[in-house]
Amino acid sequence: MAKTLFALSCLRNEDWGRLSLRPHYPSMPRYPKGVSPEGTSVEGSEAKALFSVIGMTCSACAGSVEKAIKRLPGIREAAVDVLNNRAQVFFYPSFVNEETIRQAIEEDAGFEATLLTDETNERSVQVCRIRIKGMTCTSCSSTVESALQAIQGVIKAQVALATEEAEVHYRPNIINYNQILEAVEDTGFEATLISSGEDVSKIDLKVDGVRTDRSMRLIESSLQALPGIQSMQVYPEFNKISLSYKPEVTGPRNFINVIEETGSRRFKANIFPEEGRRDPHRREEIKQYYKSFLWSLVFTIPVFLTSMVLMYIPGTKHGLDTKVVNMLTVGEILRWVLATPVQFIIGRRFYSGSYKALRHGSANMDVLIALGTNAAYFYSVYSVLRAATSPDFKGTDFFETSAMLISFILLGKYLEVLAKGKTSNAIAKLMNLAPETAILLTLDSEGNIVGEQEIDSRLIQKNDVIKVIPGAKVASDGFVIWGQSHVNESMITGEARPVAKRKGDTVIGGTVNQNGVLHVKATRVGSESALSQIVRLVESAQMAKAPVQKFADRISKYFVPLVIFISVSTWFSWFLAGRFHSYPKSWIPSSMDSFELALQFGISVMVIACPCALGLATPTAVMVGTGVGASQGVLIKGGQALENAHKVDCIVFDKTGTLTIGKPVVVSTKLLTNMVLRDFYELIAAAEVNSEHPLAKAIVEYAKKFREDEENPLWPEARDFVSITGHGVKATVRNKEIIVGNKSLLSEHNVAIPADAEDILAEAEGLAQTGILVSINGEVTGILAISDPLKPGAQEVISILKSMNIRSIMVTGDNWGTANSMAREVGIETVIAESKPEQKAEQVKDLQGSGHTVAMVGDGINDSPALVAADVGMAIGAGTDIAIEAADIVLMKSNLEDVITAIDLSRKTFSRIRLNYFWALGYNLLGIPIAAGALFPSTGFRLPPWIAGAAMAASSVSVVCCSLLLKYYRRPKKLDNLEIRGIRIE
């Protein structure tokens, strides 16, 4: 009771329902300490954040939240809405960020707070992609990722070791991409911008004939005058101009024309020659490692020969053992001279990598290599110098250890980048689908062809008309304005059967025209095209980390320090054992003493441990898996989706458009009153024409049959139109109240359903047809029966899923009778009918609550909440853009059988990831003890450091090659059997 009274007293005289920007605490500073109100730089960088605050009960609570926020420096204003549990904060990002504000609400005020992102915030977020050179293991990628996420204005940063790229989501009003590049370079790695912002339309032009700066300025000013130019960058040293533009206003041909018409036509412009975005970088890296490896061989082979081979040939042994000064021999001097360039010139990359890592408080593979090779090299230098100054010291040098170690590691890195390059072949193949040239048609005002010319396909602009001859690739997305043919779309959708195209049909850039000539009007060009969007989706998927990657990231933090500790402990243990004669002298090889034996064990431990293999285990498999999926028409949006899909044990199918073909047709009409059928359909078509639902479209299409004289009939005006999702529509047409929908909709509007109408509905539902009731002025006037046949193969797909121990459930907004009949036909036991979109999502959550990993397969806007709620959302490719955006996996072919392909591919990918981890961890768990001399006492087997280095290099290569085997993935044979029986899904 006391609590209630307190709450009421809090509410008294408070305008708590209004979100006011009036400060409640005027004593709180508006500006951070030391910043004057005149500081324009602070005012200009103001940001806004919206938080959900859970637990507030009254305005006193809101006051405590507001007070906690305003205590922070850099807060301009804070307003708390207790009714909607929200807090809106205006702040200066230079002094405070969203996370600090959120923590203040939780820690100082004691309420749970979550940052909300509204649409305006989303629109103000840009994405840039950065290439990062020099990363060797997960320790490197984690360091860069942490540095990026610590930057003010960066919302999310993902760094992929396998692709050596970063994707950064940032607020351009707080930070720009140049500052992001600087942050990466501050961590010690080389950063290059791949793309900034959305890069919707950007092109690079090469201008020939420019001899002076004045000429380039003249061209620049001519281009600036063009409408639609957004930004321009000039690179005089390359005669290159980069342009960002609005494709609906202008295009690359306009730029070339303007350049060539400037300056008495002495300039010549064309598209800047460029290779694939990934290939030049990858080829350069391969070339560098290959060159370094060859140079290391030039010096290492003589070192190896003088220490391992020539010492056993009597003539050359005498020459190499010839003493120069005291005990210093010719062989030692030769090995020193040859090993030094390998250590410090060819191996300098390991020094720089170690320095950069240690400078930022982390340790990577370079640190292990540098420590191991330096220990061998500098002990050898000590041995040589002591031999030169002592008349009786006979030491052993390990110059061959350091030289051979670096050579083998360089060979391993060369093979690794060679293999890693092949993991992104799927993207390279997708990018190569676009044709190099296109035939541009020139039309007169009446649409007649007056000319045609062959142009570079990158010069195509919106609304151009392109001629596509048989056997040629379609140059851009668009629609057919003349001609008919069949187009092979398998390279984009994975659908093997050619698709018929005629006037009005859409075509996709990169697909192959087969047997007729088509004239295509370009609608989406450049980076707007479906092909470019698929490439971007696959690129983003390959960037996104799978949750299982966190395992490797956690290990990598402690891996190198632990290896260094084990290595030093190994050396110290063997050194002490030798000093106190804990093992027989016969164990020590004749060419060394106990200290040198201990040193070799320590170096072997240091170089055999490989953090690279662990770091590459997940990303390389995810890269290959998503690439293979794309080639099969299954677009998987990243590692999270791939990981969740392999755990799926329950699939919820939408009915219309997913289990069924999605093109319902009216099969029968029963009128309960004396009315002309044409007039009846006139009224209901007028109401349904405003709805996007497939059943509504079926009714309108059927109604057109009564107006055959008109191609696009005009229906009577519908006033007060209301669409009740999952139930039907209501409108006023010709002063009559029309309700078209299911029984529950009519019941809500107090419309009595006669017994004969119930019988007709039951009969339709028994035939797996959807019964639609039509009410005019509160009286049931007619019943429509609509049939949407099952997709061919649906029954077999459900049967295969059952054999994979995956439970299938059907959820639909349709009535129970139709839903049950359809479920029986397809073989699904559990049915949920008459569900609204939010109820579909609730059903998914209920299944998750009972311990299931749930996949949702749908195609419509009404499926979007459930697609988001599911562990894995699968959108049918022919569905709506909203459903595809909400889904984790897009089935491009709209085939149900691809649900099985997606799950099977994810299972195969994750079995490969497990195998990679098993190998990487097993290799280290076995290799480190062997290198430490675990087998030496019993078998006399000792692993020399250079062999340990070769084994370390081989482990990374083997993990990448193991992932590459996924390229040979074939979908389950059961699905091939479906095709043998002639079942094809259109």
Q: Would you list the DSSP string of 567-606?
A: HHHHHHHHHHHHHTT-S-GGGS-TT--HHHHHHHHHHHHH
**pLDDT category of residue 535 using cuts at 50, 70 and 90:** confident
Give the mean pLDDT of 558-583. Answer: 89
Report the distance separating Cα 25 and Cα 68, nearest Å: 11
Give the mean pLDDT of 818-840. Answer: 82
Identify the burial level of 316 via C-beta atoms within 10 angstroms of its C-beta, where 0-12 means exposed, 13-18 middle and 19 or more buried.
middle
pLDDT above 90: percentage of residues in the chain: 7
Say whether pLDDT at 416 is over 80: no
Give the mean pLDDT of 133-139. Answer: 78
Tell me what pLDDT residue 2 has: 43
Tell me what pLDDT residue 603 has: 86
**pLDDT category of residue 343 using cuts at 50, 70 and 90:** very high
**pLDDT category of residue 443 using cuts at 50, 70 and 90:** confident
Say whether pLDDT at 338 is over 90: yes
Tell me what pLDDT residue 235 has: 78
Give the mean pLDDT of 939-949. Answer: 82
Residues in the chain: 986
Give the mean pLDDT of 663-683. Answer: 86
Report the distance separating Cα 809 and Cα 652, nearest Å: 5
336's enclosing H/E stretch is helix 330-341
Q: What is the pTM assigned to this prediction? A: 0.66
Specify the DSSP class assigned to residue 200.
-
The DSSP bridge pattern shows strands 499-501 and 506-507 to be unpaired
**pLDDT category of residue 574 using cuts at 50, 70 and 90:** very high
Say whether pLDDT at 829 is over 60: yes
Segment among 21-35, 250-264, 318-332 with least mean pLDDT: 21-35
Determine which one of 81, 397, 477, 654 is catalytic: 654
Report the distance separating Cα 891 and Cα 885, nearest Å: 12
Distances (CA, A) of 525 to 61, 250, 686: 54, 12, 37
**pLDDT category of residue 446 using cuts at 50, 70 and 90:** confident
Give the mean pLDDT of 682-711. Answer: 82
Tell me what pLDDT residue 673 has: 84
Residue-wise pLDDT for 287-326, tens only, equals 888 899 999 999 999 988 888 777 778 778 788 888 888 8
Report the distance separating Cα 70 and Cα 22, nearest Å: 13
Specify the DSSP class assigned to residue 655.
I
Give the mean pLDDT of 551-555. Answer: 76
Residue 654 annotated to the active site: yes
pLDDT above 70: percentage of residues in the chain: 86
Rg from Cα positions in the chain: 36
Residue-wise pLDDT for 478-522, tens only, equals 889 989 898 887 666 656 678 888 888 888 888 888 888 999 998
Coil vs helix vs strand at 239: coil
Q: How many CA atoms lie within 13 A of 153 on its CB side?
A: 22
Distances (CA, A) of 295 to 161, 287, 491: 27, 12, 43
513's enclosing H/E stretch is strand 512-513
Token pair for 84: 């909607």
Query: In 161-262, which ranges are E strands?
Result: 165-170, 190-195, 202-208, 229-235, 240-245
Residue-wise pLDDT for 164-201, tens only, equals 888 888 887 788 878 888 888 888 888 887 776 654 56
Give the mean pLDDT of 863-869. Answer: 80
Tell me what pLDDT residue 9 has: 39
Tell me what pLDDT residue 929 has: 92
Long-range contacts of 724-727 (CB under 8 A, 24+ apart): 725/813, 725/836, 725/837, 725/862, 726/813, 726/834, 726/835, 726/836, 726/837, 726/839, 726/862, 727/813, 727/836
**pLDDT category of residue 427 using cuts at 50, 70 and 90:** low
Give the mean pLDDT of 34-43. Answer: 39
Say whether pLDDT at 737 is over 70: yes
Higher pLDDT, 237 or 500: 500
**Average pLDDT across the chain, whole number:** 79
3-state helix, strand, coil in the chain (%, to 5): 50, 20, 30
Give the mean pLDDT of 591-608. Answer: 84
Report the distance separating Cα 962 and Cα 955, nearest Å: 11
Tell me what pLDDT residue 964 has: 85
Give the mean pLDDT of 115-125. Answer: 56
Tell me what pLDDT residue 839 has: 80
Report the distance separating Cα 830 and Cα 823, nearest Å: 8
Give the mean pLDDT of 132-139. Answer: 79
Instruction: Return the ∠ at Cα 562 (arms to 560 and 563), rounded to 5°.
Output: 65
Q: Give start and end residues of each alpha helix (H) in 12-58.
A: 40-44
Tell me what pLDDT residue 424 has: 63
Tell me what pLDDT residue 420 has: 67
Strand order in the sheet with 202-208: 229-235, 240-245, 202-208, 268-271
Give the mean pLDDT of 925-953. Answer: 85
Say whether pLDDT at 980 is over 70: no
Query: In 28-85, which ranges are E strands?
Result: 47-54, 75-81
Token pair for 296: 């290391």
Higher pLDDT, 251 or 776: 776
Identify the burial level of 915 via C-beta atoms within 10 angstroms of its C-beta, where 0-12 means exposed, 13-18 middle and 19 or more buried.
middle
Tell me what pLDDT residue 296 has: 92
Say whether pLDDT at 626 is over 50: yes
